[in-house]
Amino acid sequence: MRFDRRFVLAALAAALLPVQAAFAQSDPLPSWNDGVAKKSIMDFVGKVTTPGGADFVPPAERIAVFDNDGTLWCEQPEYFQGVFALDRVKAMAAQHPEWKRQQPFKAFLSGDKKALAKQGEKGLLTLVAAAHSGMTTDEFAKSVADWLATARHPRFNRPYNELIYQPMVELLGYLRANGFKTFIVSGGGVEFMRVWAEKAYGIPPEQVVGSSGVTQFRLDAAGKPTLLKTSKVQFVDDGPGKPAGINMMIGRRPILAFGNSDGDLQMLQWIMAGGGARFAGIVHHTDAEREYAYDRPSKIGQLDKAWDEAKAKGWTVVDMKQDWKTVFPNKP
Amino acid sequence: MRFDRRFVLAALAAALLPVQAAFAQSDPLPSWNDGVAKKSIMDFVGKVTTPGGADFVPPAERIAVFDNDGTLWCEQPEYFQGVFALDRVKAMAAQHPEWKRQQPFKAFLSGDKKALAKQGEKGLLTLVAAAHSGMTTDEFAKSVADWLATARHPRFNRPYNELIYQPMVELLGYLRANGFKTFIVSGGGVEFMRVWAEKAYGIPPEQVVGSSGVTQFRLDAAGKPTLLKTSKVQFVDDGPGKPAGINMMIGRRPILAFGNSDGDLQMLQWIMAGGGARFAGIVHHTDAEREYAYDRPSKIGQLDKAWDEAKAKGWTVVDMKQDWKTVFPNKP
């Protein structure tokens, strides 16, 4: 008796389908390959949520914090918020004819890279500040939303807020399903992130901690209250600023933190110094093909001291190439 | 037939008991007298939580913010955090022999009120700063807990964290039962409040917004990370700082706010300027017998401009004497 080949395949598929379906249902992290990283995450969540276990942590204390750039979304070839700022300066130029005669605007808008380089880091910060101040908080939020709707990443040709890491989105959901409260703790601007973080990660505005500028409360001519964004820095949530930001804005020491660079080192040290079970994770960018590969010498997202400390202390280092089945979500 | 008087009373009581019990169960605000204030609160909560109603607000946007001093707990005859600070300076004096020769410490510790008055507001701020800096965040939290365990209010002879307003505690619980997320937005120190706010109000640390000082991240000699409290001001969450604090730390415009003084005016203006249904409430201290009576000329908790605006705009003004059946919770 000869079987039709298609019949055999269909029968096999039918036989395997329930197994696959059951597996898919029971695996909360389907975009993670089985390995040390995935196992260490699931073991940790298992032990802190087992009632009566030695490592049980009450739900109210299950605070998890995540860096954003390079940990939850891509940060190459430039920090996305920097791209936003420069795009905005171009868009705002028509309303600022004086910029044609003012540096660093003149150099930037005319594409004179040599003259722009002369303005140094200060020149760049001036451009970034121009995109982040002199408008109300509502106007700023609208400018971020407008940019996301039109701007595209130069390599992946997708909106920037689609370049989030699917395995990390699953991890956030898995933690929340286990009673964790998930926070972003990022060096990025808090008002920039809040525009899209809830839709991208399921993290509400009040659980986003980041850098911020001073805002001024004003009643406008019609008596309507507004908050005006000034160019004065209020708080820098990076490096040693991350534990300070956690203390100021969360007020409770998290039991889990994920970062990807030396800017996250102090946050990871801070959370690991608490009592009871703790988890420190680092995303290591090892995948030049699907995303980017960079660590010790990188100008963006340098991973050097934090990597050494992770090795010395046995923190979980996620190898993007090995540990992740997919990097970005499928196109919608 | 003559009825025994006690029999009649007992029968009446038995007949009425189920009615009372049913009423008690169905009233989420049992310490509030029926009146305009209670009705306006319950009408508001009813309409924003009615699915399909014109004023329905999705749970994620049901953010409610409360001032603390004078709104959730007593603030007379001195702000409680001020009492804490001065008590702490006395307790710390033994470790600071140099204070015997330094103003304003010398004047304060020796009880020389004339010399202390000479030091003015700056002198007072120096004393307060001494109690709030030069120690780690953990040490500070312990000093607050220790103080609460021993200090007593001069008039009510109760621990300060028992002098919270029972009707407001019920209101917080009622809002949470209706899907609201409740926050404190106070001019008080955020680290001072977080020590006791969760137990007192059911508000977790991450939902307390307040004033803060700069903290410095350090690794101690043993390599253990600590956050050192400095005397430098990070953020003042009062007056126009309240909408700025809401923007920085919550990032979403609340739909309900309660305050009691002119320091809450900008917060109330800010929340009322959003779209859709909104609720602004003010606690008016009218009860010298059970608590305190003060408003326009008061040095602490002055209620003047905010009261005028409440009248002009039809905000809800709670008359403590008329609207509250009880002020403080029963002694435990």
**Contact in structure between A254 and A280 (CB atoms under 8 Å):** no
Could you write out the DSSP letters of every residue in B175-212? HHHTT-EEEEEEEEEHHHHHHHHHHHHS--GGGEEEEE
Task: Name the residue among A217, A243, A270 with its Cβ closest to that of B243.
Answer: A217
Among B204, B152, B112, which residue's Cα sits nearest to residue A252? B204
**Which 3 state secondary structure label does DSSP give A181?**
strand
- pLDDT, tens digit (0-9, with 9 covering 90-100), for B69-124: 999 999 999 999 999 999 999 999 999 999 999 999 999 999 999 999 999 989 98
Alpha-carbon separation of residue B165 from B71, B170, B172, B201, B328 (angstroms): 8, 9, 11, 10, 5
Helices A113-132 and A80-92 meet at what angle, rounded to 10? 90
**b/e per residue, A171-198, with b = 16+ CB within 10 A?**
bbebbeebebbbbbbbbbbbbbbbbbbb
Amino acid making up residue B32: W
Residue A146 has pLDDT above 60, yes or no: yes
DSSP B67: -
Structure-model confidence comparison of residues A16 and A140, the more confident one: A140
pLDDT confidence of residue B16: 53
Across the interface, whether the CB atoms of A227 and B204 are under 8 A apart is answered no
Interface check B149 vs A, CB under 8 A? no
Encoding tokens for residue A213? 């500028």
End-to-end C-alpha distance for chain A, whole angstroms: 46
On the question of pLDDT at A293 being above 70, the answer is: yes
For residue B6 the two structure tokens come to 């006690």
Taking only the tens place, the pLDDT of each residue in A75-116 is 999 999 999 999 999 999 999 999 999 999 999 999 999 999
> What pTM did the predictor assign?
0.91
The pLDDT value recorded for residue A17 is: 52
pLDDT digits (tens, 9 = 90+) for A199-210: 999 999 999 999
B212 and A CB contact within 8 Å: yes
Residue B4, pLDDT score: 56
Identity of residue A315: W
Using the beta-carbon criterion (under 8 Å), do A270 and B217 form an inter-chain contact? yes
Q: Cβ of A225 and B269 within 8 Å? A: yes
Residue intervals in chain B for CATH 3.40.50.1000: 31-76+162-323
Query: Which CATH number is correct for A31-77+160-323, 3.40.50.720, 3.40.30.10, 3.40.50.1000, 3.40.50.300?
Result: 3.40.50.1000
Closest residue of chain B to A204, computed from CA coordinates: B60
d(CA A127, CA A90): 10
Interchain contact B306–A (C-beta under 8 A): no
Mean per-residue pLDDT for A22-33? 81
The residue among A206, A242, A268 with the most chain B CBs within 10 A of its CB, best to mutate, is A206
Interface test with A, best of B62, B201, B236, B247 (most A CBs within 10 A): B247
Question: Could B250 and A205 be called an inter-chain contact, meaning their C-beta atoms sit closer than 8 Å?
Answer: yes
For residue B203, the chain A residue with the least C-alpha distance is A60
pLDDT for B1: 45
Q: How far apart are CA B96 and CA B92, in angstroms?
A: 7
**What average pLDDT does the segment A284-295 reach?**
98
Give CA–CA dist A261/A76, Å, rounded: 13
pLDDT score, position B138: 96
CB pairs under 8 A between A and B: 101
A270-276 mean pLDDT: 97
Q: Where in chain A is the domain with CATH 3.40.50.1000?
A: 31-77+160-323
Q: pLDDT band for position A332 (50/70/90)?
A: confident
Q: Which of A248, A267, A308 to mutate to test the interface with B (most CBs of B within 10 A)?
A: A248
Distance CA B258, CA B267 (A): 9
With beta carbons under 8 A apart, name residues in chain B contacting A206: 63, 181, 183, 207, 249-252
Task: Tell me the pLDDT band of A26, cut-offs 50, 70 and 90.
Answer: confident
What is the model's pLDDT at position A15? 53
CB contact, 8 Å: A202 with chain B? no
Q: Name the band, by pLDDT with cuts 50, 70 and 90, for residue A10.
A: low
A206 to B248: CB separation less than 8 angstroms, yes or no: no
DSSP letters, A69-82, are BTTTB---SS-HHH
State residue A227's pLDDT score: 97
Tell me if chain A has a CB within 8 Å of the CB of B229: no
Least reliable range by pLDDT among A24-28, A140-144, B99-103: A24-28
Percent of chain A with pLDDT over 70: 92
What average pLDDT does chain A have?
93
B266 in reach of chain A (CB within 8 A): yes
How is residue B110 written in tokens?
Answer: 């020796």
Give the pLDDT confidence score for residue B25 in this predicted structure: 59
Burial (CB < 10 A; 0-12, 13-18, 19+), residue A287, is: middle
Burial class (CB in 10 A: 0-12, 13-18, 19+), A163: buried
Q: Which residues of B touch A225 (CB under 8 A)?
A: 243, 266, 269-270, 273
Residue-level pLDDT, tens digit, chain B, 332 residues: 455 555 555 555 555 554 454 444 589 999 999 999 999 999 999 999 999 999 999 999 999 999 999 999 999 999 999 999 999 999 999 999 999 999 999 999 999 999 999 999 899 899 999 999 999 999 999 999 999 999 999 999 999 999 999 999 999 999 999 999 999 999 999 999 999 999 999 999 999 999 999 999 999 899 999 999 999 999 999 999 999 999 999 999 999 999 999 999 999 999 999 999 999 999 999 999 999 999 999 999 999 999 999 999 999 999 999 999 999 999 98
Burial of B92: CB neighbours in 10 Å, binned 0-12, 13-18, 19+: middle
Q: Do A216 and B273 touch (CB under 8 A)?
A: no
SS3 percent helix, strand, coil of chain B, rounded to 5, is 50, 20, 35
- pLDDT value of position B5: 57
The complex's ipTM works out to 0.90
Cβ atoms of residues B63 and B303 within 8 Å: no
Q: B270 and A190 in contact by Cβ < 8 A?
A: no
- Chain B residue with CA closest to A233: the answer is B234
Calculate mean pLDDT across residues A131-155: 97
Cβ contact, residue pair A266, B225, below 8 Å: yes
Task: Look at residues B48, B72, B17 and name the one whose alpha carbon lies nearest to residue B254.
Answer: B48
d(CA B311, CA B326): 25
Contacts of B198 in chain A (CB under 8 A): 60
Nearest-Cα distance to chain A for B215, in Å, is 6
Res. A11: pLDDT tops 60: no
3-state secondary structure of B234: strand
Q: Report the CATH number of the B31-76+162-323 domain.
A: 3.40.50.1000
